[in-house]
Amino acid sequence: MLRTFDLILVGVMVAAAAVTYTIKHQSELKLEEVHRLEAEIKLEKDTIDLLKADWALQSQPNRLERLVNNFNGELQLQATPSTSLVHARELPMLKSQVPVPDIADAKAGKPKPKAKPAAPADEDDMATGSVE
């Protein structure tokens, strides 16, 4: 009786040791994965910081002005006239299809306008130079 009980206890101890070893091994693998992911995150953050610094360097106004002056012959850049700038609500396609809220209405907390139903496929709201 005592020998059988001893053998059962030894079997339970071996099983417990095996489970403990397996859990420890899995936790070490997860810890290595966490360290690897942290290293990847740090690398990505460093890359983002480097790209932000590069963007700040590349978009400096005096550098851009110098480039414009150097390549003006090839690019033939011109200033945009103020008459070329429009608000989104002045665009013809947006006016008939998508409601564009006014900035003053948005600041005052007024509700957004309801969308107009789309025009039938055979009708066209836009006047173009095409032949009918």
Tens of pLDDT, residue by residue over 29-75, are 999 999 999 999 999 999 999 999 999 999 999 999 899 889 988 88
Among 99, 126, 97, residue whose Cα is nearest residue 111: 99
Neighbours of 100 (CB within 10 A): 14
Mean pLDDT of 2-26: 95
Assign 77 a pLDDT band (cuts: 50, 70, 90): confident
pLDDT for residue 112 is more than 70? no
Q: How much is the CA Rg of the chain, to the nearest whole Å? A: 35
pLDDT for residue 11 is more than 70? yes
Rounded CA separation 68/48 (Å): 28
Neighbours of 12 (CB within 10 A): 10
Question: Helix and strand tally (H, E) in the chain?
Answer: 5, 0
Q: What is the mean pLDDT of the chain?
A: 81
Mean pLDDT of 96-121: 58
Lowest mean pLDDT among 16-30, 61-75, 97-111: 97-111
Considering the entire predicted model, what is its pTM?
Answer: 0.46
Element (H, E) at 60: none
CB 100 within 8 A of CB 88: yes
pLDDT for residue 124 is more than 70? no
CB 96 within 8 A of CB 125: yes
